[in-house]
Amino acid sequence: MEALLLGLAVLACPVGMGVMMWFMMRGSGSQRSGSHGDQAAAAELARLRTEVDQLRASREHAEDHR
């Protein structure tokens, strides 16, 4: 009986790690398949690029009038 408990204790860590890795792989796969996050990131990137372009134009305009 003691050997069985020792065997279960030794196997608990690798089995637990395997289960956690499996859940993590499933979670990242479902996030990759949804494009809502990708669309939101692309929209935010486009907004930031527009803002940078506006700031650059404003700076160039200010430098031209010096």
Q: Is the predicted pLDDT of residue 38 greater than 90, yes or no? A: no
- Is the torsion defined by CA of 12, 13, 18, 21 positive or negative? positive
Q: DSSP H helical segments within the chain, as ranges?
A: 2-33, 36-64
What is the pTM (predicted TM-score) of this model?
Answer: 0.45
Position 54 scores a pLDDT of 95
Q: Is the predicted pLDDT of residue 49 greater than 90, yes or no? A: yes
- Per DSSP, the residues of 50-65 read HHHHHHHHHHHHHHHT
**pLDDT-derived band at 44, boundaries 50, 70, 90:** very high
